[in-house]
Amino acid sequence: HTHTHTHTGTSGARDAASRLVLNHDAVVSDAAKKALGVLTTHTLSNSVADCTLRAAAQLLLQHPTTADREAFHQDARALLVHAVAVCAGEKQEDEAEILLQIQKVAVHVGSRICTPRDMGAIPALFLRQALTSLHKAANNSETVG
């Protein structure tokens, strides 16, 4: 099989996404507790951690390589808008607070990735790129929607 992108890049992004999905509950719990200081599981913060990690996994699956940086960042912004809308939900939570929490979760999870315990170096690089792109999109958003 020949591919239009490098095998390492493709498997790296997919491996990062699959690790995030497989360990989703544990990562959400850790991020909600340690990044956002929340002890209960049924909170807006838990929802924000969940939405942030889902957005990161989706971004990795949409972009098996990060060759097209502009499209990567545009999709990160679109996924961020969706994450904020989901988290705000029916309760009409404050979007600025959600954006701040998304930034905290992205930084925390990015700093906690341990290679090779959690994943290989290349998947970790892809996951950090996705989290950084979501963080930048959240940081550059005055209001969303």
Contact between 79 and 55 under an 8 Å Cβ cutoff? The reply is yes
pLDDT tens digits, residue range 7-31? 344 688 999 999 999 999 999 988 8
pLDDT tens digits, residue range 75-89? 999 999 999 998 888
Report d(CA 40, CA 129) in Å as an integer: 29
Number of H helices, E strands in the chain: 6, 0
pTM: 0.84
